[in-house]
């Protein structure tokens, strides 16, 4: 977010495009020349499309949230994704919910509250910014879902499939730019 604020004269979609494009290009060139060509496309296209959709929705929500709410609040809400990932892991990955696991989740949520409360007291809860808060929460939720699905389908996707899941985001960012 700080990077986006410093470069506020450049549209976020253009920054997103450049970030993903050059990251993808560098990684794909490295992978293509290191791996044998027949192993390069060894991944499940269906799983890659599913991850692409989640990632695309995530980036759209995250970038759109900045239009409706302050950057500090958007990022604070967005960085609750590790807690959401831990919660989703219980249901999707069948992670064992031990007492220590649940206590750590509770402490994490309390920590998020203590981080968010002073900011809300300082700036106040603005109903006009609630759409930005909601979009930021959706971004956090979809990133958590993306992380859990990556773990669940890591053998079907692999690192090459993960790279190709960024293609729709690159196309979206290019169109938006």
Contacts of 161 (CB under 8 A, 6+ apart): 43, 44, 47, 48, 51
Give the model's pLDDT for residue 44.
72
**27 vs 64: which has the higher pLDDT:** 64
Q: How many CB atoms lie within 10 A of CB 166?
A: 23
Binned at pLDDT 50, 70 and 90, residue 135 comes out as very high
Contacts of 133 (CB under 8 A, 6+ apart): 65, 69, 73, 74, 77
Contacts of 83 (CB under 8 A, 6+ apart): 105, 108, 109, 112
For the record, the structure tokens of 10 come out as 């450049």
* Average confidence score pLDDT of the chain: 77
Question: What average pLDDT does this structure show over 68-75?
Answer: 85
Q: How many CB atoms lie within 10 A of CB 53?
A: 14
Q: What is the pTM of this model?
A: 0.74
């Amino acid at each position: 977010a700080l990077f986006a604020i410093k470069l506020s004269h450049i549209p976020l979609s253009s920054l997103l495009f450049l970030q993903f494009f050059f990251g993808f290009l560098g990684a794909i060139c490295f992978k293509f020349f290191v791996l044998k060509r027949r192993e390069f496309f060894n991944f499940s296209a269906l799983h890659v499309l599913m991850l692409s959709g989640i990632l695309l929705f995530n980036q759209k929500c995250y970038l759109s949230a900045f239009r409706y709410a302050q950057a500090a609040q958007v990022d604070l809400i967005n960085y609750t994704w590790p807690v959401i990932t831990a919660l989703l892991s219980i249901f999707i990955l069948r992670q064992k919910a031990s007492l220590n696991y649940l206590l750590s989740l509770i402490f994490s949520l309390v920590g998020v509250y203590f981080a968010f409360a002073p900011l809300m007291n300082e700036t106040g809860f603005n109903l006009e910014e609630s759409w930005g808060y909601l979009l930021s929460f959706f971004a956090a939720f979809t990133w958590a879902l993306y992380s859990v699905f990556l773990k669940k389908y890591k053998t079907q996707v692999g690192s090459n499939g993960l790279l190709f899941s960024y293609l729709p985001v690159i196309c979206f960012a290019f169109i938006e730019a």
